[in-house]
Structure 1
Amino acid sequence: MTRWSVRTRLTVIYGVVFMAVGVVLLVINYLLVVSVLPQPAAFIAAASPDVLTGTGGVAIERAPAEQTTISTVADYRASTIRTMLMTSGIALLVAGGIAVLASWYIAGRVLRPVHMITATARRLGAESLNRRIHLDGPDDELKELANTFDGMLDRLASAFDSQTHFVANASHELRTPLAVQRTLVEVAMADPQATPELRRLGQHLLVTNERSERLIEGLLVLARSDRGLLGRVPVPLAEVAENVLVGCIGLADEHNVTISKTIRPRTVAGDPVLLERLIINLVHNAIRYNEPGGSVSVEVGDSPAVRVINTGPVVPAEALPGLFEPFRRLERTATSGGSGLGLSIVRSVVRAHDGSIGVAARPSGGLDLRVELPPAYATATDNRMIPART
């Protein structure tokens, strides 16, 4: 079904109403002219009564000259009516065209504030919440709508600023005690007089502390990415992936997993820290939720921008959408040491970069994750991929 804009609909409505009124006026004009113009016979009778009646009021037959006069008057009357209808019709069409053009212009002027509101809303983002409409004009409904929209943006900007300050403060307040605890435990374990029981307890506390640090770090990154991007810079994705893979060698050796890569140059506009976290989480997730002797394949290119394939347990298809929810892990992988935020952070980072992510379960086990990031060439995603719910 063809979608008409509000401006087009208003123009059509105005034009139809104008033409309808014009047709009514034309009909009224026609009836008035027809009623004013006399009938030929009556006109001749009124003009020459002695010619049409005999002595004593007895009617006589009209002469040929009289018949010609009546015919001439009838032709004149018909010609006058035709001329009136033709000129009125042409004038109505011309006026209708002018009315349509005027309606199009007037509708555009009336709807201009709505277009300004729409354009402002489309340009809004976490990095551009300072945009406002500031509509000038009379205090009508449209100005009230624009002022309401500006007020809503003021409240949103205030809420985003509060969240930014909260995340910054939480980052410091939560990390500092954990760092202090880790230092105290390490100092206690380094004491030569520490008993074996104390060392075992210290080792357990260090593992617990490390897991708490990962959880807090994940929550802070998730909160940051959910706020959107404060700015975008060119990020060489291939370079970021290479650095991440170098840093994952130790984790891969610990889990007896082999990493292979296919890296092609690719630059995207975004936040380098968040994009690095995206690749780190994908690779760490692929290593941890794997099996001894398994493999991880990492690809960077145009489409998809990032693809990570790993071996591992068979994942049920119905469990795939839940992998992107916070703290949602498969039962068979719940003891892998992860916090359950890895793919949630990935989805949030992808969404902040206006991208998309899809996942498919491999028949032999493991997952196939694909990330599309603009300004990559727009290509259709594999139909087998299940999009993450955003």
Structure 2
Amino acid sequence: MLIRNKLMLRFTLVVLAIQVSFSAFIYYFNASTRAQRFEHRLGTSATLATRLLVRPGKLETGQLGSLRRRDLVTLPNEQISIYGPDGGLRYSSADDIDQTLNQAHLPALRPGQQVAFATAGRREAVGMGYDHEGEQYTIFVSAEDQVGWARLHQLGLLLLVGNVGALALSILAGWYFAGAALAPVARISRQAGRISASSLGRRLSEGNGRDELAQLARVFNEMLAGLEQAFEAQKSFLAHASHELRTPLTTLTGTLETALAYDNNLPAARESLAHSLDAARHLQSLTASLLALAKADGTLPAFKPVRLDECLNQALDFARAKYPGRELRLAFGTLPEAFEGDVFMMPGNAELLTTALLNLLDNAAKYSVGPVLAEVGYDGPATLRVRITDVGPGLSPEELSHIYEPLYRAAGAVGRPGYGLGLPLTQRIVQRHGGRLKLTSAVGEGTTATVWLPALPV
């Protein structure tokens, strides 16, 4: 079911429930008022009969004087019955009155008491006890409230017609207001339908900027901005990757074609094979780096507790083996004041963490003209910090803004080995471990890479 139909249905049901409840209250109040009013009229008629018949003693003498039995009847189909102290019927306004219910209530009535009860059909009755000169008389008066029931019937009909009309109006109002409320959603849907991979620069209208729909549009716009950035990064990555892969493939293909066409002796063939092997190794290294980057973006195995200082020590061993002439130092920073068990423990993947730290050390050792300092310590009770500092040529602010883009290489990296994948890979590994990587640099002063990672409680 469409949301518009759901809103209209719920609005209609709520309005209908309110209408029916209010109508039932009005009908019940009027019915109760009618019953009380008519009971009062019956009681007044009973009092009048008492004053005219019992007080003057006409019932005792059996002489009504100028009164006739029908003279006391003032209500529609009114019936009056009076019982004497001995329980016998002393007076009735008609001979055909059914005295069964009157006689059933007779024992319960005492002087000064009044009871109301219903008889056959819509006839209502009142019984009243009366004391006259020490003798108890009981008066019963019954009648039909034709006017009251007619008015109550008219009220019920009016409420029914009014509810039906109000229901029709509430359906129309629900349809209108649901459409008006969902109009911004329809507009957002139309705008979102016009956005495709080739038009990610479009944004949704945020309306008044304050309500929930504006918040929804804002979230969509932020998502679109992220998608646009991801698409641009992917396009840039594919462009650089195709360029980087094309170079060794072209070299390898050209060398093999030249060797096949012109190498007629073993020394020339060996030289061509050597060039081909270098190109294949270059291609293999680049492919391995791209696969490592894809692995960092994929599903990782479950993290286990690892020691970050051991990962850093292993990365330092690899870096010293690769750059035997470069001095790489290890220092320990701030440690917790009081701890039990091992320090530098964190949840993670030891292989990926070692790869990330090795990439940072490799960059530092590759460009530094002096010693490289690696420091591991705590930056708070729940945060580990690794800082790697070199004294290389440094990076400009413009280069720092692109340093995390895959296959991007700064101006100082021209002519040096590498593919521009180390820092992007390191950043993604750190982020997958819930950490953060930050590079600070100044041209001519060197670069500092700082990594913050969540630590296990010590």
User: TM-score when scaled to structure 1?
Assistant: 0.47
Q: What is the TM-score of this pair, normalised by structure 2? A: 0.41
Of Structure 1 and Structure 2, which has the larger fraction of its residues in strand?
2
